[in-house]
Amino acid sequence: MMAIRIQTERDESYERPTRGTLSQLVERIGADSDHFVIVERLTADPDVYIQVWHDAGDDYQLEHRDGSADRHFQAYLPTAAEVVEVMARWARQEKAWDLGPTWRRLDLPVEEEPTLDARTGG
């Protein structure tokens, strides 16, 4: 069992799943209302995760985030097996877990903090 929590688009949640469960979930995604799997370490920051999106017939879009938005990366992999291998290495916090895929940093929009209007107090 891995010290992770898995969430699916179907609103399923699995805590401390086996690699087999992770594999089954990644292999099935791609249909309507079942496109993604999100994996978080149980003891980590909520802004540290790895996730995959898949539409049937397309490559798997694998992403990982290591804290802030400028540490969010993506790669495309052709098979579920490759995705599961990378996700399992990430979950086990293996050294060089991210070697293999060609990662590119995602440029996500930065959310601005709301400012108060001094005239109205809001």
Provide the pLDDT confidence category of residue 107 given band limits of 50, 70 and 90: confident
CA distance 104 to 116: 36
| Phi and psi based region of residue 120 (left: phi greater than 0; alpha: psi -120 to 50; beta: remaining) | alpha
Give, in order, the Cα–Cα distances in Å from 39 to each of 25, 109, 115, 120: 11, 22, 33, 43
Indicate the pLDDT class of residue 110, thresholds 50, 70 and 90. Answer: low
| Count of positions (residues) in the chain | 122
pLDDT of 42-88, one tens digit each? 976 888 999 999 999 999 999 999 988 889 999 999 999 999 999 99
Phi, psi of 51 (to 5 degrees): -145, 160
Helix (H) or strand (E) holding 8: strand 4-8
pLDDT tens sequence across 11-51: 999 999 999 999 999 999 999 999 999 999 997 688 899 99
Domain residue ranges of the chain, discontinuous segments joined by +: 4-105
Q: What is the mean pLDDT of residues 105-109?
A: 78
